[in-house]
Structure 1
Amino acid sequence: MSGRKNVFVTLGLALSVSLLAAALAVLLFTFHYGHLQFDLLNAVCGEVVEQDPQARRIIAAALKEYTGGNADGSAYEDVLSSLGYRASDFSVPTYRQSLWCIGAGFLAGSLLFACTWAYRNRREALRIQALAAYLEQRGTSAAPILPASPKAASGEDDFSRLEDEIYKTVTFLYQTKEAAIQARNGFAENLSNIAHQLKTPITAISLSVQMMEHDLAAKASCARETAMPPISPAVTSGCYPEQIQKQLQRLTRLEEALLLLSRIDAGTLALEKEEVDVFTLLVLAADNLQELLDASGTSVEIPEQGGMMVMADLDWTMEAVMNLMKNCLEHGGGGKILCSYAQNPLYTEILIWDEGRGFAKEDIPHLFQRFYRGRNAAKNGIGIGLALAKEIIELQNGTLRARNRPGAGALFEIRLYSH
């Protein structure tokens, strides 16, 4: 129904209730006024009979003629007016009772209208609650695409049209979500397939490099024993196998990163949360990078600020922290990597920064994008470490942000929330 029709129905309902209340008030007032007339006439007749008992017959005949409708049509003498009385003299005693009757009728009508209006609002509120519950259930995938009840029992009105549009929108969003999940799973499956396809040539090349190194060592030994012309220094020193080995290591890291990304995208990365001491976490991450730190002459300073525990997966969180420290190592230009941590009722904050030049301003919005390599990226990097770190932290109810420090150096901020 249209909005105008709904207004007419509401007004009609209100008018009907008001008329019923008015009719009830008139009925009550008429009944009450009849009793008042009877009492007044009874009092007058009683006084007359008390003064003149012979007047009883005259009074009875007059009452019979009046209640019979004055069949002979004779006019009554206006006795009361000749005695100086008016109609208003007899209405004063009933004025208060009349007001009470009018008030009772108005109150009854108001109560009926209020009950009707409350019933209508309650009915709409129940429909809204049912619709809200349906949307909440759809948010947790616990409800069917189309609801079983609310609309069927409510009839056709403007609210039903709203319900129809909401159900259509929810169905569309559900289908879009399913398509997105399928696309994500397909992407994760493709990443996994690519990673597994890379493993075969990596293994073959690795075996070939080992055989090449073995052959070169054998030829060098044979040349020394038979006094053959010396082999090229580049070959005997293993320069080419060493370059190939570096590329193999890079391909291996890429393969491992792709496998990890596929597990994250597919939602199959198992995180075993336990109480982890923040100081221990940072120390273990630095220890795993000790070889790289020594080679670059970089040190890591981790202050011991008392026991602070977080709920996290130790191995994977350590992997994320290692990626952040490695980034500071590659861009810090030597010197120090500094850490600090603090805790409050909401979250535990871990800061990791270096003393280098910091991030290029145009790189900051893209630092955590997969395969993004900034202006000062390392030559052997693949642009996946920061993205992996961010996703690992976020899977554990945390956040990871990057910014430049006011003085100098790049800073990473980890927040692991308690709830």
Structure 2
Amino acid sequence: MLRNREFKHFILWFVLLAAVTVILGFTISPAAGILTVTAAAACGALFVLFTRARYRSIARISSQIDLVLHNADHLYIGEADEGELSILHSEITKMTLRIREQNEALKRDKEHLADSLADIAHQLRTPLTSVNLLLSLLANNPSEEERRAFIRESEELLLRMDWLITSLLKLSRLDAGIVVFQSGEIAVDHLVRAALRPFLIPLELRNIALKLDCPDGIVLQGDEAWLSEAIQNILKNCLESAGEHGRVEIRCTDNPLYTGINIRDSGRGFDPEEIPHLFDRYYRGKNPAAAGYGIGLALSRMIITRQGGSITAQNHPLGGAVFTLRFPK
């Protein structure tokens, strides 16, 4: 308390004023002088007691701020008295709570980032190891047929790595908030057909039947390029689930409330406990043979929700899985 310059100045002026008042009191009469001394002493004592209590409260607030800065778990919540100091205490308490929440969020993000980087490194290392093995086999001068098979498999692995790196870059751009979606009127039929174009040959090679029901005239507002990317990731998941001789159905709907796109496959569907986590980043489910990286669906959800839409996944009553995309009017 005595370290405060304002308090020292007040004490100095109070002593000077009290001395002048006491001298004037004794000049008038001894009784007036004694009364002046008593009043000055009482006022000084009350002021010191009040100021010390106030400074103790400020010291408690300062210690709480110091605890928060040093990541301590304890946080003092002061009594709800009225007054400017109590308001300051309340605001600082809110600030410390907010800082604590942000610190916890940053800690979780840091742990998640470390786990994600480890997972990404593992996912990249697996195809790289396979490519190195294939190159070693090619160096042993295999037959022409084996060499073609090794080259084709290497190309597939490199394409998977390219897709993984490209998807991670897109996720990073979306996380950083540097992507600006262009909003325009999109014909849903054209959007779906554009998303299907890269899969036409795989559909034919794997004998997967495609049923498309997208009437003309259905439109939605959004960024066509990014929405096509989102639908492609969903289609990729459905094609992998449908397997050889499977079936994929795409149905577009329109009503006064929203425009919908339903994508269904004839695969095994989802385990019930996996459905809440399907769109979580890097979630690959319990199937050890899953070929995905847990990125495509997370990227699709981010693209769709950032443009005001929604996406859900569930098991279809007749078998397989169905993804439902809705874009409000």
> What amino acid is the match of 2:261?
I
**1:411 correspondence with 2:322:** yes
Residues 209, 307 of structure 1: alpha-carbon distance in 2 compared, 3 angstrom cutoff: farther
Q: Is the 8 A contact 1:209 1:241 kept in 2?
A: no
Q: Is the 8 A contact 1:195 1:259 kept in 2?
A: no
1:327 aligns to what? 237
Q: Is the 8 A contact 1:401 1:413 kept in 2?
A: yes
Instruction: Give the alignment's Cα RMSD to 1 decimal.
Output: 4.2
> Helix, strand or coil: the match of 2:273?
coil
**1:274 correspondence with 2:184:** yes
2:281 aligns to what? 370
Stretch deviating more after TM superposition (158-167 or 323-332): 158-167
2:49 aligns to what? none
Stretch deviating more after TM superposition (236-245 or 316-325): 236-245
**1:336 correspondence with 2:218:** no
Q: Is the 8 A contact 1:397 1:417 kept in 2?
A: yes
CA distance in 2 between counterparts of 1:274 and 1:377 reads 41
Aligned positions of 1:32-181 closer than 5 A: 158=82, 163-164=87-88, 167-172=91-96, 174-175=98-99, 179=103
1:350 aligns to what? 261
Residues 157, 211 of structure 1: alpha-carbon distance in 2 compared, 3 angstrom cutoff: closer
CA distance in 2 between counterparts of 1:356 and 1:211 reads 34
2:76 aligns to what? none
The one-character-per-residue Cα deviations of 1:100-126 (angstroms, maximum 9, x if unpaired) are xxxxxxxxxxxxxxxxxxxxxxxxxxx
TM-score (structure 1 length as normaliser):
0.48
**1:251 correspondence with 2:167:** no
Identity %: 31
> What amino acid is the match of 1:385?
G
Residues 373, 235 of structure 1: alpha-carbon distance in 2 compared, 3 angstrom cutoff: same
Cα deviation for residue 213 of structure 1 reads 10
> Helix, strand or coil: the match of 1:318?
helix
Q: Is the 8 A contact 1:359 1:410 kept in 2?
A: yes
Q: Is the 8 A contact 2:184 2:222 kept in 1?
A: yes
Q: Is the 8 A contact 1:213 1:241 kept in 2?
A: no
Cα deviation for residue 215 of structure 1 reads 7.7
Residues 166, 257 of structure 1: alpha-carbon distance in 2 compared, 3 angstrom cutoff: farther
Stretch deviating more after TM superposition (165-174 or 380-389): 165-174
Q: Is the 8 A contact 1:188 1:261 kept in 2?
A: no
CA distance in 1 between counterparts of 2:134 and 2:319 reads 45
Selected match of 1:314 from 212, 224, 230: 224
Uncovered stretches (5+) of structure 2, i.e. residues with no partner: 1-79
Q: Is the 8 A contact 1:286 1:300 kept in 2?
A: no
Q: Paired residues, what number?
A: 247
CA distance in 2 between counterparts of 1:328 and 1:249 reads 19
Uncovered stretches (5+) of structure 1, i.e. residues with no partner: 1-155, 217-230
Residues 377, 269 of structure 1: alpha-carbon distance in 2 compared, 3 angstrom cutoff: farther
CA distance in 1 between counterparts of 2:182 and 2:116 reads 22
